[in-house]
Amino acid sequence: MQTQPRYKKGDKIGERYLVYQALIGGMGEVYLCLDLQKNRPYALKTFQARYLTNLKLREAFKREVATWVALEKHPNIVRCFYMDIIDNQPFMFLEWIASDESRGTDLRSWLRHGPLDLRLALNFAIDICRGLIHADQKKPGIVHRDLKPENILVAEGRIAQITDWGLAKIVQEAELEITTTRSEPSRRQSLLGADGIVGTPPYMAPEQWRGEELDGRTDIYAIGCILYEMLMGRPPFFAATFDGLRRQHLEAAIPSLTIGDVVPAALQNLLFRCLAKKRNERFTTVDELLQLLLLIYQQHFSEALRATETGGEFTAEDYSNRGATYAQLRRYDEALADLNRAIQLDATFARAYINRSGVYADRQRYDEAMADCTRAIQLDLTSATAYTNRGRIYQEVQRYREALADHSRAIEINPNYAAALINRGSTYRSLQCYDEALADYTHAIESDPTYAPAYINRGNLYLELQRFNDAINDFEQAIRFGLTEAKGYIGRGIVYENLHRYENALSDFNYATKLDPTSAEAHYNRGIVNDKLGRYDEALKDYTRVIELDVNYGKAYSNRGIIHSILQHNEEALADFTRVIQLDPSNAKVYYNVGTLLFNQGELRKALQHFEKAAELGLSQGVQYAELLKKILR
């Protein structure tokens, strides 16, 4: 059974850090949080509880966090602010990186879509080198020891940032036994062997395999492995077993690149030097590697790569990144302040307009949101994100044909853009073009088989089409790939509810509310099941919680009003039905419900008015009861 995170969305770590999202890996846990005192976002990282009993861990943790903090601020390094002990466990306080587009936060997520184009691969490799050079300037002799796609985050503007500084050294010094098998080397976690080897096998230099002292050339070898994988879609060395992979890195010839029709000879030679078995045959320093990468980039693309700002002041990208983080937390005032500042600093920064459009859209300021997306498109005609964001706004205002045009344009730019495919599928679904919607959702899944939102959207479509077995399969895949997200459980629970498997449904809704106590949808659907099972007190609690979370959730008022009617809580029922009418004056059913309530109380003329209103809005039952009451009142 997979390890569960200790905190979930909505929890407070140390009564101060509100958890927005919980992430868990092979040995660590990361919590994306808002500091309620400073009103700032952080990523809090710690080791899983099973490792914290190691007495050597805390001292090693302190030493290496101090090293990371000393690296200070650099655009190609995830910043570590400080360490703190909370609930008797150590946490690193890291910069929260908002991911670029829909590909995910780390380079591994990008590589799941296949190889990168040469320009982007070189950009990322150059960013990694710049980060390492800065680190060496701040802490001479520092070696990362575990460079791999999982430890390269991709921030705003497609900027690569190195994270997890010192974690491999913590593992080694604390002698942590990281779970992995020798027969199946993992590409997702670090490894500690019996001989004290620490690293991730596909990216480990020969000297790591031999347990020798490491230096900067060890990281150069890892860069070579990462660059090869970015271009080819697979690491340069692979074997089915741990020992086989060890032999590959120690003995196998370096494979050649085969990308497109032309591979720059200088690039192939660069990789041969990075991946040389002997350290003295590699680049002497990372700066030497960087200069050759920059030269290859300039020669191949006939332009110099943009310089990196390394000053301590916040740049437009910094403000945009933090603004996007605040937006994820729904701290919209702070988000707008940061995004406005980003645009003031750089009025041509398309991504800031895209991020600000998302904030405007969430606040239903659709005209401003659309204007920002249009401005972003003017600045960057190849921005698939800007087109699909504008398409989502058109969806919100029910301008479906324009939405389809924008989503289609985003897909033309990037045929495997899962977010655009999902959004176009949802637009087709709104137009009841179910075959087209299903095709888009399926294409999104084919583009990224681990993308939970694609399964959730297709599962919801199958649910609407009453293809319940297909829906359950998709929601189970969503649960598999979105372990800490509630939506997969909610979707499967709704299917169970439709199949009258109420106890299964309750189990899923209960778990969804544990994962996300702020999910009105989870509480609402659990309320429906409790209602059907005659557990009226529990249903009332659920609907009340929904209304606490969303004061405009009309269905919750309506359902709660019906239960109050059943329990003869007439004043409470009337108050709930009245609120529904305020929210939706065209809701015929609620006028009928009020009429029934008034009829049972003997207020026949008032009841007649409501039955007539229900009839006017097209409810046949309203017509019947209105006619009946007219006869009684004659």
What one-character-per-residue DSSP string does 596-626 give? Answer: HHHHHTT-HHHHHHHHHHHHHTT-HHHHHHH
* Distance separating alpha carbons of residues 482 and 10, to the nearest angstrom: 17
Domain boundary among 274, 301, 328: 301
Q: Are residues 37 and 126 in the same domain?
A: yes
For residue 1, being part of any structural domain is answered with no
Q: Measuring CA to CA, which residue among 574, 583, 594 is closest to residue 551? A: 583
Q: Are residues 458 and 518 in the same domain?
A: yes
DSSP string, 326-368: HHHTT-HHHHHHHHHHHHHH-TT-HHHHHHHHHHHHHTT-HHH
Q: Are residues 462 and 325 in the same domain?
A: no
Determine the pLDDT at residue 113: 82
* Distance separating alpha carbons of residues 288 and 284, to the nearest angstrom: 7
For residue 518, being part of any structural domain is answered with yes
For 200-234, what is each residue's pLDDT tens digit? 889 999 999 998 889 999 999 999 999 999 999 99
For residue 25, being part of any structural domain is answered with yes
In the chain (634 residues long), the average pLDDT of successive 10-residue segments reads 74 89 81 88 85 70 79 88 77 82 80 89 96 93 92 89 85 66 43 62 92 92 96 90 88 84 82 95 96 92 72 75 76 90 94 94 94 96 93 95 96 91 96 96 90 92 96 94 81 96 96 88 97 96 96 94 93 94 92 89 88 88 84 78
Taking CA atoms, 63 is separated from 58, 84, 102, in Å, by 9, 13, 35
Determine the pLDDT at residue 185: 40
Name 422's Cβ contacts closer than 8 Å, sequence gap at least 6. 440, 441, 444, 453, 454, 457
For residue 369, being part of any structural domain is answered with no
Determine the pLDDT at residue 502: 96
For residue 546, being part of any structural domain is answered with no
Domain boundary among 444, 466, 485: 444
Q: Are residues 462 and 565 in the same domain?
A: no
Domain boundary among 539, 570, 587: 539
For 23-39, what is each residue's pLDDT tens digit? 877 678 899 999 988 88
Q: Are residues 138 and 254 in the same domain?
A: yes
Determine the pLDDT at residue 193: 45
Please give the single-letter amino acid code of residue 355: N
* DSSP bridge partners of 279: none
Three-state DSSP class for 29?
Answer: strand
Distance from the first to the final alpha carbon of the chain:
70
Counting the structural domains of the chain, the total is 5
Three-state DSSP class for 282?
Answer: coil
Q: Which domain holds residue 411?
A: 382-444
Q: Are residues 191 and 293 in the same domain?
A: yes
For residue 112, being part of any structural domain is answered with yes
Q: Are residues 172 and 218 in the same domain?
A: yes
CATH code: domain of residue 463: 1.25.40.10
Q: Are residues 171 and 319 in the same domain?
A: no
Q: Are residues 455 and 511 in the same domain?
A: yes
Q: Are residues 603 and 555 in the same domain?
A: yes
CATH code: domain of residue 115: 1.10.510.10
For residue 248, being part of any structural domain is answered with yes
For residue 375, being part of any structural domain is answered with no
**How many alpha carbons lie under 13 Å from residue 31 in its C-beta half-sphere?**
27
Q: Are residues 151 and 230 in the same domain?
A: yes
Q: Are residues 85 and 211 in the same domain?
A: yes
Determine the pLDDT at residue 191: 46
